[in-house]
Amino acid sequence: MPQVPQTLDALAVRAWCGLALEALGRAREEIDAINVYPVADGDTGTNLYLTVESAVAAVEAVFAGHEAAGRGAGDRALKPALAEVVRAMAHGALIGARGNSGTILAQLLRGMAQVLASDREAAHTDGPALRVALRHAADSAREAVAHPVEGTVLSVADAAADAATGAEGDCGSVARAAYEGARAALAATPGQLAVLERAGVVDAGGRGLVTVLAALVQTLTGEAPRHGTVPLTAPAPVQAAGTEVPEPEAVHARAPGDACEVGGPAYEVIYLLEADDAAVARLKERLDALGESLVVVGGDGLWNVHVHVDDAGAAVEAGVEAGRPYRIRITHFGAGDAHMAGAGRPPRERAPRAVVAVVPGEGLAGLYAEAGATTVVARPGEPPASGELVEAVRRAHAREVVLLPNDAELRHTAAAAAEQARAEGVRVALIPTRSAVQGIAALAVHEPDRRFDEDVVSMTSAAGATRYAEVVIAERESWTMAGICQAGDVLGLIDGDVAVIGSDVTATAESVLNRMLAAGGEMVTLVLGDEAPATIVDHLESRVRESYLAVDTVVYRGGRQGALLLIGVE
């Protein structure tokens, strides 16, 4: 018999996240199919998957950091503390939360983390602590929802916590009790919510939570719960003796709009928000007056806001007044979104071709969007997961898609997204752009009217002919190709490698530009970050005019993009 953990430690949390993601991946389409509340947009399974995928990425980043540190110290067994891993899990879920159910799941994980991370040095936790964590998770999620409704994932979470409270023993016993309680509560959801009963299905968000808890049981006991499946349809009524009872776990294929009310707000608005507690309290009051399905989760200055409204602009403006909203996503429920069948209306016609690009800031997102691209904004230190790229391909709604990752470290993520999109019938070409300036060059020669292969070859050639550089501030002392740098030094990276170490941003940028143009060039692209010196562009443009007469310069404002300056030379 393989050994299984009797307590919950960092490795167990890592395994739980991985198993939950795999299970949600298998169940995603089934959960999407039964999604009828609060809106029948058929994307709850996908949203839960994307939320957990972001949590997994955050947890893996923690382990990767410790493994790298361990190799440097000659100890490959270096392992993070439980507190660090559960905080990463919660943060990853928060920044990646999608939809109503994904946002609530993020708060459930955050509630658990608040308890499990209370002792920063603890290597593991036991059954009693897990009981407390599940209770706090359920309470936190209910508090985050402006108007809680029974028969939803909140009811399932409460039942799981109640069942766990009465459980004795180690973490495995507590997790199994929580799963069984959640499973029973899920089967009861059609009797609590009329829209579920009419559709003949259980709550989709609750179904997803049961799947996540089943993964926790498997992690802690080494065995999947004895019920191989969880109910998808409403329990059949009790029949008289001798009559046939329908199989309760059979899946009925349903369009997302079947047996649901028509109406409700027109838009779903989601964004991350940097704001203090007082501002968020005022924001909740304003958004509650604007719409419904309001869920605000998070804390410590970072929040995920979700609301359904008719005036999407007003919802975003409320966020601007409260703090700094970003990763803003607005979905029109009636516009034929990627997962929405649009009950009673024909599907939206696919465009012949589209470009999907990852960009490092809101400024470049606007530039790419003006050129017709569908964008995914990557905040510094928070690269998008493959699910986000797949979702962007779906939003582009085209038969052929050119994918621009614009980051060397996103190569494998973009490849995985391309494979998934191809499996869904989309023809995808991945151009391995390693910087946003290479993406700009590729987009400049994009011609959707020519043959797909020809367009891809032309875009690839333009990107490959563009050298790229960036000017950044060193965060710590480290070895580089140009020598040892100290925290606070200005670094000039050319084609991904540190080429210049300096103390002045403008001087370092000029040195980088001179090195790049020494090999020739016809066009210089400068993308200015919002923390770069205001005079740097004038200085560099003058330098190019004086020393490189045949070279043109174009300047863009990138906003908050991580690097102080991006440079491209074609």
Per-residue three-class SS string for 420-444: HHHHCCCEEEECCCCCHHHHHHHHH
- Fold of the domain spanning 467-569: Hypothetical Protein Tm841; Chain: A;domain 3 (3.30.1180)
Q: Are 360 and 378 in contact (CB under 8 A)?
A: yes
Cite the residue boundaries of each domain of the chain with CATH code 3.40.50.510. Answer: 351-465
Token couple for 93? 């879920």
- Beta-carbon contacts of 274 under 8 Å, excluding residues fewer than 6 positions away, are 301, 302, 303, 323, 324, 326
The CATH fold of domain 265-333:
Alpha-Beta Plaits (3.30.70)
What CA–CA distance (Å, rounded) separates 147 from 507? 56
What pLDDT was estimated at residue 219? 93
CATH 1.25.40.340 maps onto the chain at 8-221
The distance from CA 200 to its chain's CA centroid, rounded to whole angstroms, is 31
Q: Is the distance from CB of 253 to CB of 268 less than 8 angstroms?
A: no
Superfamily of domain 8-221: DhaL domain (1.25.40.340)
C-alpha–C-alpha distance, residues 420 and 409, integer Å = 19
- Domain 351-465 in CATH 3.40.50.510? The answer is yes
How many Å apart are CA 178 and CA 166, to the nearest integer?
A: 9
CB 51 within 8 A of CB 108: no
Cis-peptide into 38, omega within 30 deg? yes
8 Å CB contact between 358 and 393: no
Coil, strand or helix: which one is 226? coil
Cβ–Cβ < 8 Å for 470, 517? no
Q: How many CB atoms lie within 10 A of CB 529?
A: 23
Contact criterion met (CB below 8 Å) for 236 and 274 = no
- Residue 67 has φ and ψ, to the nearest 5°, of -65, -40
CA–CA separation, 569 vs 565, rounded Å? 13
Residue 482 C-alpha from the chain's centroid: 35
User: DSSP secondary structure string, 136-184?
Assistant: HHHHHHHHHBSS--TTSHHHHHHHHHHHHHT--SSHHHHHHHHHHHHHH
Q: Which pLDDT belongs to residue 242?
A: 36
Could you tell me the pTM of the whole model?
0.63
Q: At a CB cut-off of 8 Å and minimum separation 6, what does 223 contact?
A: 217
pLDDT values of the chain reduced to their tens digit, one per residue, 570 residues: 445 656 799 999 999 999 999 999 888 888 988 888 887 767 788 889 989 999 998 999 888 887 776 655 555 556 788 999 999 999 999 988 988 899 999 999 999 999 999 877 777 888 899 999 999 999 999 999 999 999 999 999 999 999 999 888 899 999 999 999 999 999 999 999 898 888 889 999 999 999 999 999 999 998 888 654 455 655 544 333 333 323 333 333 333 333 334 457 878 888 889 999 999 999 999 999 999 889 999 998 999 999 998 888 888 889 989 998 887 777 766 544 433 333 344 455 778 899 999 998 777 888 888 888 888 888 777 788 777 888 889 888 889 999 999 998 888 888 888 888 888 889 999 999 999 999 999 999 999 989 998 999 999 999 999 999 999 999 888 888 888 989 999 999 999 899 999 999 999 999 999 999 988 888 999 998 888 888 998 999 998 988 888 888 999 888 777 789 999 998
Sequence letter at residue 378: A
Amino acid 397: pLDDT: 86
Q: How far is CA 52 from its chain centroid?
A: 8
SS3 category, 259: coil
CA–CA gap between residue 176 and residue 393 (Å, rounded): 38
> Tokens representing 181?
């309680």
Contacts of 515 (CB under 8 A, 6+ apart): 494, 499, 500
CB-CB contact of 142 with 104 (8 Å): no
pLDDT at res. 372: 86
> What was the pLDDT predicted at 226?
65
Angle between helical axes of 127-144 and 171-192 (0-180°, round to 10): 30
- What was the pLDDT predicted at 333? 66
State how far the Cα of 9 lies from the Cα of 7, in Å rounded to an integer.
6
pLDDT at 255: 34
Torsion sign over Cα 263, 267, 271, 277: negative
pLDDT at position 312: 80
CA dihedral angle for residue 431, residue 434, residue 440, residue 442, rounded to 10 degrees: -30
Scored b (16 or more CB within 10 A) or e, 209-238 reads bbbbbbbbbbbbbeeebeeeebbbbbeeee
What does the pLDDT read at residue 313?
A: 80
Q: Phi-psi category of 517—alpha, beta or left, where left has phi over 0 and alpha has psi -120 to 50?
A: alpha
513 alpha-carbon distance from chain centroid: 35
